[in-house]
Amino acid sequence: TQARLTDFKAGAQARLDRIERDRRRRELWAHALSAQDAGHLEEAKISLQLLLDNNPGDADARARLAAVEKMLTGVQQTEQEKKKLDQIPDLLTQGSLLSVQGRHADALVVFQKVLDLDPTNAEARDQIADVQQAMKHEGVIIDAPI
């Protein structure tokens, strides 16, 4: 009787553990999905990593984690590009001031930085043409096109 009671107790504990794991998985999964839907990708990533820590073989969680990490990478790249593009107005101003001061070579370097950030920037191209024209009027020989 004692052995049967011990077996019953062990089986009951195993069922309780499985129920708790399943509850925890549902909770983490729901949190990950709601965080992702709200745009809180780091939070979603943490929930999915916790889910995988508890159940490394969870293919759904692994696939969702890969998708979230891909989105995070895209967001980070977009933020980096935005930071670069945010520099352009200051660089254009700086280049214009250098040109007005007669520091044409320095101005060309600054305008080239703008084109390195945004190759289609028409204002930088126009400024370069204006500076090169001013340099020609001053008799400065331009070795190569910018």
Q: What is the pLDDT of residues 35-69, one digit of tens each?
A: 999 999 999 999 999 999 988 999 999 999 999 99
CA-to-CA distance for 115 and 128, rounded, in angstroms? Answer: 10
Q: 55 φ, ψ to 5°?
A: -145, 85
Cβ neighbourhood burial of 131 (10 Å; 0-12, 13-18, 19+): buried
Are 51 and 28 in contact by the 8 Å Cβ rule? The answer is yes
pLDDT number for residue 144: 52
pLDDT number for residue 142: 64
pLDDT number for residue 138: 86
For 55, the token pair is 């159940």
**What secondary structure does DSSP assign to 20-67, as a single string?**
HHHHHHHHHHHHHHHHHHTT-HHHHHHHHHHHHHH-TT-HHHHHHHHH
Residue 22 zone, left/alpha/beta (φ > 0; ψ -120 to 50; rest): alpha
CA-to-CA distance for 115 and 102, rounded, in angstroms? Answer: 21
The SS3 call for residue 119 is coil
pLDDT tens track, the chain, 146 positions: 888 999 999 999 999 999 999 999 999 999 999 999 999 999 999 999 999 998 899 999 999 999 999 999 999 999 999 998 999 999 999 999 999 999 999 999 999 999 999 999 999 999 999 999 999 988 876 655 55
Start-to-end Cα distance in the chain: 93
pLDDT number for residue 143: 59
Return all residues near 119 (Cβ < 8 A) that are at least 6 apart: none
pLDDT number for residue 43: 96
